[in-house]
Structure 1
Amino acid sequence: MTIKLPQPLVDYFAAKNRHDIDGMLVPFSPDATVRDEGETHQGPAAIRNWMEATTRKYRVTVEVADATVNGHAWRVAGIVSGNFAGSPAALHYNFTLDGDRITTLKIGA
């Protein structure tokens, strides 16, 4: 059975695959936190800086392969392709949602 992603995650991945920073930011709450590559980024300015830097460096696209949900927590498995050693690679995107906003995102293997 395929799980249908909630709209904030659909919007995030669609914008990510277009390399659209403004579009990627839309679903995040004003006090959201992102954890990636051992660093934490909190709030719109810090998250924008992270998005700009990683988009410029890696030019990543994500093909959603699977997703599970537990309450407000979503774990999305993605096949990630871009400018990095080992591309493509499987990564997990762990989201917490509050209504129609992403409050946390943790990216890892």
Structure 2
Amino acid sequence: MTTHNTETAAAWDALPAVVRTYLTAHRSADVAAAIGTFTADAAVTDEGHTVHGREAIGTWLGSAGSEYTFTTEFTGATATDTAHVDVLQRLEGDFPGGVADLHYRFTLDGDLISRLVIEP
């Protein structure tokens, strides 16, 4: 039996509400709102390091990228199913290289995020 993953393009308004809430909170540095989008045992991987649980995610959110000034722009998204969404964001700022396109790969558990992997 063969299964096929089908990717569907998604506009900002078509993203799951929890993903939009997280991205908006992250962009505005609203750590409390961002933490509220995760399950209690969620994991986040960024720059090759993984943190587990809301407390560790809160610490990561409070410090991630804090040494740089940058803007973030939603450039597109795809969904392979209702639990997996890949959002592409363009960051521009005073970090090395000045521009980066990053994938925010979300795994959802109901109305919350259980896993987030941020990578090029």
- TM-score, normalised to structure 1's length? 0.90
Q: How many residues are paired up?
A: 109
Q: State the AA in 2 paired with 1:68.
A: T
Match of 2:98 in 1: 87
Cα distance in 1 for residues equivalent to 2:84 and 2:55: 24
Contact 2:45 2:116 in 1 (8 A): yes
Match of 1:78 in 2: 89
Which aligned runs of 4 or more in structure 1 are off by greater than 2 angstroms? 55-62
Identity among equivalent positions (%) equals: 36
Match of 2:23 in 1: 13
Q: What are the residue-to-residue correspondences of 1:1-109 with 2, within 5 Å?
A: 2-3=10-11, 4-71=14-81, 72-109=83-120
Which one has a bigger Cα radius of gyration?
A: 2
Give the gaps of 5 or more residues in structure 1: none
Cα displacement string for residues 3-42 of structure 1 (whole angstroms, at most 9, x for unaligned residues): 3111011101111111111111111111100001111100
Q: State the AA in 2 paired with 1:95.
A: F
Cα distance in 1 for residues equivalent to 2:78 and 2:68: 26
Q: State the AA in 2 paired with 1:31.
A: D
SS at 1:30's partner residue?
strand
Contact 1:61 1:82 in 2 (8 A): yes
Q: State the AA in 2 paired with 1:73.
A: H
Q: Which has the higher helix share?
A: 1
Cα distance in 2 for residues equivalent to 1:76 and 1:43: 22
Alignment RMSD:
1.6
